[in-house]
Amino acid sequence: MNPKDIRSVVVTDCGSTTTKALLIEKVDGVFRQTARGDAPTTVEEPHLDITVGVQAAIRNIEAMCGRPLLDDSGELIRPFQAGKGVDIYLSTSSAGGGLQIAVAGVVRKLSTKAAERAALGAGAIVSQIIACDDDMPLHAQIEALRSARPDMMLIAGGTDGGAFFPVVEIAEILAAAAPRTRLGKGFQLPVIFAGNKEAAASVREALPSDTPVFVEDNVMGTVDTENLSPARERVHRLFLEHVMKQAPGFANLAALTDTPVMPTPSAAADMLSLCYEARRENTLLVDIGGATTDVFSMVEGVLTRTVSANLGMSYSAARVLIEAGVERIKRGLPFEVDDDRLTNLVMNKTVRPTTIPDSVEELLLEQGLAREALRLALMHHRLFAGDVRATSGMDAFRRAGGSNGFSVMGIDRIIGSGGVISHAPSPAHAVMLLLDGFLPEGITRLVRDVVFMMPHLGLLSRVHKEAALSVFDRDCIEELGVVVAPSGQARWGKPCLRYRVMETGRPVQEGTLLMGEIHRVTLAPGSEARLVLMPSRGFDVGAGKAETLEKMIPGAPLGIIFDGRGRPLVRPPKAIGRQAVRGWFDTLGIPVHTEAAR
Amino acid sequence: MREQGISSGLVAAPSIRIRRIRRLPVVGETRVKMGDWVDANVTVASASLPGKLHPVAASMQLGVSPCELQGALRVKEEEAVTKGQVLAEIHRFFGLSKAEVVSPVDGTVLSISPITGQMVIAEADTRMDLPAYLPGTVVAADADGTVEIEAVVSLIQGVFGVGGECCGRLIQVDAWPENEADFRGMNGAETILFSKTPLTYGVMTAMKRHHIAGAVSGSVSGGDLMRFAGRTLNPACTGNEGIGLCIVLTEGFGRLPMAERTFDLLSRISGQSVSVNGATQVRAGVIRPEIIGPPVGDISENDPVVVSRSLAVGDGVRIVRGSLFGKFGRIQSIPAAIQTIGSGAKSLVYEVDILSEGQWTIPRANVEPSDGG
């Protein structure tokens, strides 16, 4: 269909937990999101068909907008005519689960570690590691590999022109072990080889002839450099294809859509690229879903994407608890909670992933988990947004920023997306999640995707860019507030920043931010102010240490949030720990009473 | 307006026709044929599980190239060897010096690589016999060890389980056995216990010590379970933990009471042989733990199996989250508009009249269809 003729579109995103449908229509000459509907994703018995949830979500849209979109047999009415149906239907998907990868290399701390990092950076769970120099006997490692039943293998080892025989031996062992995948017979275990390029042909020969083998650049071509991107991208591509196509009913969905079904993260990345084209702002986008957390950064025109397949708010909730630990989660809460209570809540959420918190206490506990998922996801993203360089010596590595180094100081805007952020009860809740999860530095605008539609719009942009941007500006994003966070540390209670907020027609607001404090200054949406920042010695807000910075900033519901908790974070003294956290919640206006509402 | 929401409840059916696929982890041999009746403990398929592999860097150990190794070999591929047997040897200095490579285990020479000079010795295969798991009729049987069995059974699904499969006699206990005296008279390996009372670390440890095959409860504390398992568990995917006890939870984690309906059904099959599988997978390809027993009553096509259905005013529901977990109620109204719930967030809700608790506003996501208790 000619984009000029499009008047009405339904776009769905089939997530791990929820299928979300949007109705986008031309209203008074501009495209707006006019209705939306959710339903549980139906990849489970008895339905085992993703399109059942799609249909339910679209039925909910019908109920909202009061006009028929599906006919009596449940088919989408196309084209839009006489107030019924839509012109086109598009869908993204990330339903189906995560990727488990086994990694093998020659030296545990070198090539194997590099391969592990490549796999993690692509968002996989590393289910088994095999190394020739591991303490565990090789036969035990092989047995563990057989039990692990990975979805793919990544083999590394040998610098280019270096070790040859050990690398081929690994392939021979793999061939002998013949590990089976989770997906059972009929699905061959793909093998990615990213080791000594001179061994590639022999590795291929050592593996069974029906094994899909992908040869990528060596993750460690020389002993002092790593090149993870090619292997990581291959893992990532296979991951997306694997996740998508294993969702029950995927073929049915593909038959319904007017364009190919797109992986959710790819669609979100497309929208981010489109936004950068329009505004030239360095942006960090996070999409925290039920099974995965995706982080995208668009910095100076370079897009980097990491998918943390083991961090999420429903299926992966328990993994967040395991990785972060109970103590870290409790540390960020404004009230005391029993370890068991927290553990049970998270594990119950994992086994009943579609339930939602219906009390303040449970909400804040889940948001505490979300903060840790964000923190860990950003850690993964930081690790892989740039290259890692070794100093001399076999076991010492030093991370070098270089032209690809990643720093939150350079980020102008953070967009939060995903149910726990988008559906947080208030802008203040969403701010606290992004603030604690990402610890922005300098001056950063916090924004959320209120109806979780970045993936939808990214997909729509492939068909109609103008429509996607129109809906993004008018209906998608909600400005939350501007965070000013000086980087640096000092003793608790010491000054770290003086500030002045000058809004036309209003008295100047001034203040001194002490270490450990959060201040909030009102600056209403639609207004703007000149901000003057004077960091204390040792602190930097973006212009250099102790250098004054002036900037015009827009208003938002939470106004300006001055975060003086230090970067890196300075923990409050033990005696006032919980009280300090409670104070931050109070400053942002987040209720923390724990009485359940009727 | 009739709600079109889909709620994925768990099954608790006194009499239902089911099919289960029994599949070997490797290609094997099917022992039954279509139409055969099988008991739960009958072997339906068998396979040889490959023995452990022991790589031997023969070339490297002898200090010769892979080509030179060929002349030093004393065994060939597919030859049986014993532990300590010479696999390859070379003589140097006119026979004055000898270097040899010996087999680390009893096994078979699986491969000798001409590229790397590596040998792989495989221990003997172990035989695996796959039981039917449930009594029923074979309705499909592949040649390579995949069998499908159909039966009319009573079926109770749990929300979480660990520990794989077990079969045995289902016995109700009011309090979990923990002391020696409590276990007197129990044939542990053929006993599966169930109780309304939540499990604890001490109880699980005692049952494992007395080789009880399985335990079915409403709940257990997550911390206790991980302490018992000896490691962190991801509840999203279980089944091969090897923790010495098959556990099925019907409600979840904490101190959650078993649903009356579930307990009632278990009570009706108490004393009889059941099959239990604790494997759980929450993601796509969802697997829920289950207890399968003899059918109770006649199968009915209209049997109200609680799987999923549209909900309407008057329908029964069970609350599965929050302070009202486990309570049963009836839907009084279904507001079309999104409401603000206790957390401050907005959600579609049901107004539910909960027995002895009055009327409550419950997020639609937090209920499961139920016919009572």
- Give pLDDT tens digits for A293-350: 989 888 888 887 777 877 999 888 998 999 999 999 999 999 999 999 999 999 999 9
Chain B residue with minimum CA distance to A359? B343
> Which candidate in B23, B321, B327, B352 is best for mutational testing of the A interface (most A CBs within 10 A)?
B321
Q: H or E element: which one contains A342?
A: helix A339-351
Least confident of A79-88, A127-136, B29-38: A127-136
The pLDDT of residue B9 is 66
Contacts A339 to B, Cβ<8 Å: 223
Considering chain A, what is the average pLDDT of its residues? 86
Tell if the CB–CB gap between B284 and A597 is shorter than 8 Å: no
**How close, in Å, is residue A136 to chain B by CA atoms?**
12
Chain A residue with minimum CA distance to B52? A139
> Which candidate in B144, B234, B287 is best for mutational testing of the A interface (most A CBs within 10 A)?
B234
Structure tokens at A254: 């593909």
Contacts B160 to A, Cβ<8 Å: 347, 351
The pLDDT of residue B372 is 65
Beta strand B80-81 pairing with B107-112: antiparallel
The pLDDT of residue A401 is 32
Positions of chain B with pLDDT lower than 50, given as ranges = 1-7, 302-307
The pLDDT of residue A139 is 72
List, as ranges, residues 336-395 from A with C-beta within 8 Å of B. Answer: 339-341, 343-344, 346-348, 350-360, 362-363
Q: CA B162, CA B235: separation in Å to the nearest integer?
A: 9
Q: CA A540, CA A485: separation in Å to the nearest integer?
A: 9
The pLDDT of residue A316 is 86
Tell if the CB–CB gap between B234 and A360 is shorter than 8 Å: no
**Using CB atoms, which residue from A178, A346, A354 is nearest to B365?**
A354
> Which candidate in B282, B287, B361 is best for mutational testing of the A interface (most A CBs within 10 A)?
B282
**Using CB atoms, which residue from A44, A56, A425 is nearest to B345?**
A425
The ipTM assigned to this model is 0.84
Beta bridge partners, B274, equal: B168
Beta bridge partners, B238, equal: B280
The pLDDT of residue A186 is 54
Strand, helix or coil for residue B111? strand
- With 0-12 / 13-18 / 19 or more C-beta atoms within 10 angstroms meaning exposed / middle / buried, residue B132 is buried
Tell if the CB–CB gap between A358 and B366 is shorter than 8 Å: yes
Contacts B1 to A, Cβ<8 Å: 63
A311 — contact with chain B (CB < 8 Å)? no
Q: CA B38, CA B132: separation in Å to the nearest integer?
A: 7
Share of chain A above pLDDT 90, in %: 53
Q: CA A200, CA A230: separation in Å to the nearest integer?
A: 15
b/e string for B294-323 if b means 16 or more Cβ within 10 A?
ebeeeeeeeeebbbbeebeeebbbbbbbbe
pLDDT at residue A398 above 60? no
| pTM assigned to the model | 0.81
Return the closest-CA partner of residue B253 out of A419, A371, A355, A325: A355
The pLDDT of residue B4 is 37
Task: Give the contacts of B350 (CB within 8 A, at least 6 positions apart).
Answer: B311, B317, B331, B332, B333, B334, B361, B362, B364, B367
Q: CA B114, CA B69: separation in Å to the nearest integer?
A: 8
| Signed CA dihedral, B232, B237, B242, B243: sign only | positive
Tell if the CB–CB gap between A343 and B308 is shorter than 8 Å: no
**Using CB atoms, which residue from A147, A205, A346 is nearest to B240?**
A147
Strand, helix or coil for residue A24? strand
Q: How many residues are listed for chain B in this entry?
A: 373
Chain B residue with minimum CA distance to A319? B234
pLDDT bin (cut points 50, 70, 90) of residue A576 is confident
**Using CB atoms, which residue from A140, A146, A352 is nearest to B159?**
A352
b/e string for A437-464 if b means 16 or more Cβ within 10 A?
bbbbbbbbbbbbbbbbbbbbbbbbbebb
Q: H or E element: which one contains A461?
A: helix A454-461
The pLDDT of residue A596 is 42
**How close, in Å, is residue A106 to chain B by CA atoms?**
14
Contacts A426 to B, Cβ<8 Å: 344
Contacts B232 to A, Cβ<8 Å: 322
Least confident of A476-490, A521-535, B292-306: B292-306
Q: CA A17, CA A179: separation in Å to the nearest integer?
A: 30
A545 — contact with chain B (CB < 8 Å)? no
List, as ranges, residues 11-30 from A with C-beta within 8 Å of B. Answer: 16
Question: How do residues A165-201 score in pLDDT, each as one tens digit?
Answer: 889 988 988 887 777 666 555 567 889 999 999 999 9
pLDDT at residue A283 above 90? yes
